Structure 1
């Protein structure tokens, strides 16, 4: 194969001098813009932040501390009283009523006009329950005002506490004691009446179970319920057993289940032994062997014993259930008779018990009133000893220095924020305005062969020369175009590539790769049926104009055998899971999962090309390939004339038609 000397070479060069110069100028302009964005953003944020920091007025703060103390030591039950009172007083110090009264008092006594809203923002408190102190704070921009505000605040609150402290008078305590005496007399009279009533009617307690009559009725009722439940369960079980017997089933008594299981295990063991012997010996020999005949007799005896024991257990089960039903019926009738006898006595006793309950409720109400009144008197008596004494530990003062803001710290924060804002603006600008990369310089040549040849012959000659060159250099890629299968050069896969594809495949992927590498043409894949597979012979029958029998890999046979076990008769191997447009993507996805380089170069046509090359390398004649791989166009076959067969020419029967996948 050669070309005519009349060859035309057309060079096409793109010089990048001007492009590089323009790109360099654009890069410099873009860099200048970036510096402007960074600088302007930094300066704007810095100036605005500094203005905000240094234009704020200084804030001063005055403080006072008050302490809560108690005249006597509280016991464990009253240990929470100081904590509760300190928390309550801390909340009341900033209440709306106190703030409004303070605003009015400042105006009348200190001639300071401060609205309640401004006072609420100015004043704050902080409690310390462990030390029993409350710290009072007044913050504002005028230090001379803070001290009188705190002084009036403390004075006002102490005056209000004094006014709100109410002392119990002796008259109030005397009235409460008289009420206690009257209640004690009523309680004693009510107790006497209740004791007399309970003795006359034999009432022990309001609890129904503690009274003899009701306890006896309750016990008999529970026994009756138990008898009814037993009867219902026995009748249901008896009906179930009878239904099972009518259906021809055998019911075994639960007590006989273990013995029956033992007989059944012995029978099963002998049957398994005879089955194993049946695999090694004929039926005639087994009828003559004394040991085997003995086993069969023993099996028959055990089976007879099992049947007899089964019938006896069933009969015993029926009789036991019938006795249980009869016994429960008799017990239920006796209990019902006894309950009817005690019913009238129970009705009378219930009425008396209800009356007794009403009397006990009246007594409890009287006792509750007595206890409540007694608690109120005790609370009134002990209220003053536990009233806290409030002491001012630290008097308000006029502050001489501000507590906020910290100008230098805030300035440093603004500086950091400005730098961060500039960097963010620079990143955003760089993301929006990306520098373009100039196109690379390239030179192309167009080679035009002798125009006297047809286009088909020219393409075949070019493909053959390129394939021969790649075969000599040991490349894994060849610029072959097999008929109309692919418009791009096909890759010649190595054994390692094919094995990696097969190993990384799922069920459909293994079948596609395996069948293609056993001689199935791509257009035949979706027409194969499970009935075409002979698992025993390890072959696949391909129907059609190029019908043939192909040998399959063991792994493919296993997958096909599993699929045939659940498929319908005449079912396709791939059913509707795949179509012709998905086969290439399936193989490319497998190559990607296998981690192979350039997975897009693994279409179905590449696997087909690899298999045809494999056959030709063994010495297959080009015209015999269709007996193994199906139809291959003559133009495509002409490409494989350049494949090196090492001087060997083999018959189809001598070829190894299964590409090595293991």
Structure 2
């Protein structure tokens, strides 16, 4: 606490000393430790008892690979009966559920009971089911089967027994299912065979009754005759249309004076046209050789012209006769075609009723034949499926491969005693800390010492003095009547470690100064001390002046103050000359700097003596004994030291540790 006060004094320059640490603080510390220990021990004991009183549980684990039964061969026919085959084979998820199902667990339980395995707490299937767990490994057919309980041997046997029972179960179930499937397939095949035979007999009877050769119309005589008749009627109608068109064309040509018949089609007409052409050629030859006058009197020319006129008359007459003959022939052909078409129509009208009735029977026969074909196709599909079932029965059989059998576990799976014990201790520590805080919060505290702070603007620098709860604040001397008095500025107080560091680094005059100041000698008294004032026989230091007294010394201090020249100053330089106050402060500044003390400029003679007085005041020394040791102390300083004193009864002189620093 003193080091903290020193640090605060150096850093802020406000507080000269920390709050008083007295017996009340010691009482509070003692109470805190008692509360902390009681709560921590109680919580730890209760938690550890609960932790280690829990029964140990073990975990037996096995790994198996399950290959479910393959699916049944598909049925190609869409008219499969609803009871023709069992449902599809289950998947891996269904097998995992069946592995931990109640029927298998009951069988395993009965086996273990018959084997005399101790099943304490696992008499019911529900209890066994609660400790079992089966999980499928992702993207594989591997299943992890585990059991957690208090009996490691029973757990391992339970898991292994469950695997064996499951293997027997799937084999029996598959055999039963396969046999049932084959039986249903054979029964279905027999029913289809009976239906096919019955349907075939009905089709044959219908065919014989109605004289139906086949469902093909061309193979039935009646329908074939009707078809031929219809074809003939179509041909006759085509002839009628052609005859009408020919007759109309002949009449139009005759009306227009056009030749109806070509010469090559009529030999007579062709012969006449040939002779007329020869005659014309002969006349043209004569006209090229002779004049027209000559031609008019030439008998041959006139004979040729007469023959040509006769031939043209014959040609015209022959064409007229041919035209009339062609028209008459076309009329006759039209009449014949019309008569044939009428006759065929009458025949078709008479056979229409018979044909319609027969066509209906043929359609019925065709529907019966189609139904028979469908039954035969279903029969072939069922026969093929039965063959596949018989051939693939072994390939579809499910399998169970044990990757790792369950072994008897020897290590506790849960609870984790060490981890839980650490959690209990941590919780106990937190509970103890909370209890200490709660007690301190609920415990009423006495009045705290007040701290009077002097701002910088009041003059004299920033400083502070602590005032006890029952002490009057020190009187501040006012610099001016109209201003408040400035607070008392106390020197810096060194911590025990800083004082020890100074003493360890001191030598010569600086060590003599430290021994005297740490014994309570005032700096003004130190400057007038002589070497003869050190009483070697009594191990004491005689201090003169207004506060004459004898100060006891330790053996180390006595050795540091021993001198062979009693008439010389006790504090002197290397030349033997006495030191003044400025030289003393300079010596102490160098010592503080060499010792590595922070803010060495604040380490003065007053600061060292003040640190010693604060050491005595915090022990609870009586001020009357203090005056006998350190001499007269101003009232302002006594008020500050009184604030540092702990509450309660003061210590006697024999109980006070007069030596400083305490480690020496």
Considering the TM-score relative to the shorter chain, is it more than 0.5? no
* Largest Rg, 1 or 2: 2
